Structure 1
Amino acid sequence: MARVIENPKQLILSKAKEILYNQGYHKLSMRALSKACNIALGTIYNYYPTKKDLIIEMMTDYWQNYLDSVHKIVKSNTNIYIKLNNIFNELEAFIRSFRQYWLTSELYDSQEYVEGGLQKQYVFMEKLIVIIEDMLLKEQANKNIQIKLSAQETASFIIMNFITIVQMPLFKYESFELFLKELLE
């Protein structure tokens, strides 16, 4: 009788991440994954027909976890500047981790990543901007802030500056927050 595996897709993703994070992209093969999961190679291919599909699903899962944490921050009962600071801190941790695991040369040299991963990254950046835009509009409706640009432009401005501050820490978040307060009040 065949063995029943609860949530095989999640098991595969979990083990794939373990291999990627601990051994690197070149050690992540469908055979190695099959062995790590203790399931048949065909089962792996049923869920992920190519390594590209697996990598994109892993990246999607990684980004979704980040967006879930941003949603929790946005729903918190704190003022907008505390929310933005918390979103920045989460983004900073996310980018540092992303660099370590996803921006390695071995992954960027891979056509699987370049073809699909970057496209997914842009989709999730847009989702993040929409989350911030919605938060800004709610804050404006509650008369906590006054948006001087469009909410979409302001959200894009915030996220792009967050990313720049993380990647080039010549400018401190606290200084950026002063600009935000001028822009939003």
Structure 2
Amino acid sequence: MPKLLPNLRQTLIEKAIELSRTGGLSGLKLRDLARECNIALGTLYNYYPTKDSLVLDVVQQFWQNCFHQKSFPEGDVLVKLDWLYAVMKESVDEFSSEFLHAASGLSPAALEEAKSRELHAQKHLTHQLALALKTSFPDETDDQLDERAAFLFYSLLGCLENRGYRYESLRRWLESVLTPLNNDEIQ
């Protein structure tokens, strides 16, 4: 039976991210990763039988590092969206420059798994946004907040994916829509 070391999976992911920052994930060699972690190549294969499986976990860890350990700032909806858009833009830019090429080389099965993990991360982030919006929309149900958060999240994502659609335009529109709501609450 192979020897499994505690926390080695996390160590492998972190070291793979570190190594990929210099040579990209596409240039990452499992043999180099094993050497950097002071383990035998066979031990690495006990955790990651293919490079695709490692790349999937590295990409997932990257997105978790971007979003899971952060919390929304205090303030109104626009403050929260400004912050979220900035974090998303920074993360997407970093992902594009460091990981996208390697992710595009995944096998069809691994690409499907990557899409599933991406959808899970988006749902998590959308749920966090819904929780953050609760203070701005206290009378809305959880379903209404989830729907509002999904609309806002995918609108922000659209700004990032479509270079012709700018966040500033979305923000001005949201400000015009939300201002009457805020004024109604005051009266």
TM-score greater than 0.5 by the shorter chain: yes
- 1:94 is aligned, of 91, 96, 99, to 91
2:153 counterpart residue number: 159
In terms of mean alpha carbon deviation, does 115-124 or 5-14 score higher?
5-14
Which runs of no fewer than 5 residues in structure 2 stay unpaired?
182-187
Cα deviation for residue 123 of structure 1 reads 1.1
1:123 is aligned with what amino acid? Answer: H
1:62 counterpart residue number: 62
Aligned residues: 173
Residue deviations 1:134-179 (CA, integer Å, cap 9, x gap)? 22233211x7xx89x9323321221122122123343432331222
CA contact (8 A) 1:52 1:116 kept: no
Which runs of no fewer than 5 residues in structure 1 stay unpaired?
none
Change (3 A) 1:28 1:63: same
Sequence identity percentage: 24
Matches within 5 A, 1:16-165: 16-69=16-69, 71-72=70-71, 74=72, 76-104=73-101, 106-111=102-107, 113-141=110-138, 150-165=144-159
Task: Give me the whole-angstrom Cα distance separating, in 1, the residues matched to 2:175 and 2:17.
Answer: 40
Q: Greater helix share, 1 or 2? A: 1
CA contact (8 A) 2:24 2:99 kept: no
SS in 2 for 1:25: coil
Q: Give me the TM-score of the superposition, normalised by structure 1.
A: 0.78
